[in-house]
Chain A
């Protein structure tokens, strides 16, 4: 089956140009100005931008365990609707995706739907408890590409060091959720004038940047790959930017809300629950630093941290 997309504005990583796109049996075979000839289906894309399929490396599909919030079908549809052809899903599910059986299960179940590719991320520690390593070798064999205890940092530094070392054997990427819970516990809004004004339990940006610093130090020490999830503060970016000068195995992501919204928007919204995210929205200088870091490449990618909640959560 041949599909022809006409008159598109094609967006590539390095260029934007006008072209037609010819697809044969699901494969792009030609990107050229005015392709003629017959196709089974023609799409008029005049005045529209055409992007390569997006990949979201940080989502929560809530399955297994909270299929009332999201399942692979609703998650696949949501992704495809937004132009995502592949997503990685975090293992903070019930049961936790910390073994080869569940890795295999996620891949098989998502293939049955077949809308997008779903890549499960395995847990760094068994049941994400931060106590024992999970079986990386077995999970890698089953198709796992990365590991994260997302939702929590691996609090025990010695254990994270072992995780980074052990993951190297299977070329698995460790993804850190950077949050020192002793600094953030109980809080839900960035520590700022606004949190003080309303007496809300605050989270300081240090709860992120302190762990950013520690995790980079550990990864560098054992020469392992490390990715930092949902970076939200200027302080973290300063540390990452400095580290990247000499440590090439480091990468990081931010999420759309951290370069579009600030803690002031929470006040403007009259404290609407939709503005409650973790890590919490930062201040103006954080937003500006993140935009700059995206432009300069200090931040490698944007991930959504798509994390549906049921209404009863609020």
Chain B
């Protein structure tokens, strides 16, 4: 039985919730292959995409997902900097309330801020990224893709590489994969990997060659140039030397291991361009799976919320 009005964090979901989302996502994925790709599931409902940070990929994926479910979609984008001009996120949400939205898909720069917004709207809130806290639908699509490829999410060795400290994708994946008793490793410069994660059983590495040993899944995170500018590491050259995934390094992982990246990839920084061919099919899958997973999430939030 679905009992979640909002989808805020993987932390707050149980394994059965994730399985329910995946079951639906499989159906929606099949639907996307038909000639008529639309279903009237959310006809008459209003979905607002409220993005205070730029993200064309995530926003368009949510937009298309809502449209496939026949919802009315309102895109509202604003920069975080416009907030300094006096209007707050809360004001924006209060103003939107006059449209009686059913679902608000929100992306904001503040970590763990979604609960605050809930107080000002009746809509279901779907977190599309809150600061460095979580990006639940990205993790759901990553896990969905892994399940498709591996046939299971149980007992896998999953390695997440890069800037863990500032990554909402990393956090959502860590808490997601753990629910299926996969073992998680994180690896990156010591300045960018919070050591505290070892307290929940995550293995912390600062040497990619060691971290890769015997892993089934590798999630490479995007490295932001600002991190070098604020001295979390001295140079991209040194980052690449130690943390770039190369054809030589990949041999240490399990044969046929899955390589993923939330995109867009900085080729030859996170991943050597010699691995382009190898990644290509998964990147295509990720886009399609992202759509299906987001349809499932919107569907669950939009159709079941009356009961909650």
A interface, CB within 8 angstroms of B = 126, 131-138, 159, 162, 165-166, 168-169, 222-223
Contact = CB atoms under 8 A, between A and B. Distances in A.
Contact of A136 (B195, B207, B232, B234): B234
Contact of A132 (B191, B195, B206, B231): B231
A137 B241 contact: yes
Contact of A133 (B234, B241, B242): B234
A16 to B, nearest CB: 44
A314 B187 CA distance: 52
Interface in B203-246: 206-207, 231-235, 237-238, 241-242
B237 A135 contact: yes
B129 interface: no
B70 interface: no
9 contacts: A133-B231, A133-B233, A159-B231, A162-B191, A165-B191, A166-B191, A166-B233, A169-B189, A222-B190
Contact of B238 (A131, A135, A159, A222): A135
A160 to B, nearest CB: 10
Tell me if A's interface is mostly helix, strand, loop or mixed.
Answer: helix
A137 to B, nearest CB: 5
Contact of A166 (B190, B207, B237): B190
Nearest to A133: B234
Pick the 9 closest A-B CB pairs, nearest first: A133-B234, A165-B190, A169-B206, A135-B234, A165-B191, A162-B191, A137-B238, A135-B238, A169-B190
B152 to A, nearest CB: 34
Nearest to B229: A132
Residue in B191, B232, B233 with the greatest tally of chain A CB atoms within 10 Å? B191
B190 A168 contact: yes
A135 B189 CA distance: 12
A162 B229 CA distance: 13
B44 to A, nearest CB: 52
Residue in A134, A135, A138, A166 with the greatest tally of chain B CB atoms within 10 Å? A166
A162 B232 CA distance: 6
B224 to A, nearest CB: 15
A137 B232 contact: no
Interface of B: 189-191, 195, 206-207, 231-235, 237-238, 241-242
Nearest to A134: B234
A138 B234 CA distance: 10
Given A137-B241, A138-B241, A132 B234 contact: yes
B206 A162 contact: no
Contacts of A166: 189-191, 232-234
A172 to B, nearest CB: 12
Nearest to B190: A165
B242 A137 contact: yes
A222 B206 CA distance: 14
A167 to B, nearest CB: 8
Nearest to B235: A135
Given A132-B234, A133-B231, A134-B234, 5 more contacts: A126-B234, A131-B231, A135-B238, A162-B232, A166-B234
A29 to B, nearest CB: 39
Nearest to B239: A137
Contacts of A169: 189-190, 206-207, 242
B166 to A, nearest CB: 13
Contacts of A132: 231, 234
B231 to A, nearest CB: 5
Residue in B195, B237, B238 with the greatest tally of chain A CB atoms within 10 Å? B238
Nearest to A224: B190
A223 B196 CA distance: 12
A162 B241 contact: no
A61 B189 CA distance: 33
Contacts of B241: 137-138
A182 B185 CA distance: 44
Contacts of A131: 231
Contacts of A126: 234
A40 to B, nearest CB: 48
B148 to A, nearest CB: 35
A151 B66 CA distance: 61
A207 B202 CA distance: 41
A159 B232 CA distance: 8
B113 to A, nearest CB: 24
Nearest to B188: A169
A236 to B, nearest CB: 27
A162 B231 CA distance: 7
A165 B204 CA distance: 14
B204 to A, nearest CB: 12
Contacts of A138: 237-238, 241
A103 to B, nearest CB: 14
A168 B189 CA distance: 10
Contacts of B195: 223
Contacts of B242: 137, 169
A21 B100 CA distance: 93
Residue in B190, B207, B234, B241 with the greatest tally of chain A CB atoms within 10 Å? B234
Nearest to B207: A169
Nearest to A156: B231
B219 to A, nearest CB: 21
A230 B189 CA distance: 31
Contacts of B235: 135
Contacts of A222: 190
Contacts of B206: 168-169
A184 to B, nearest CB: 25
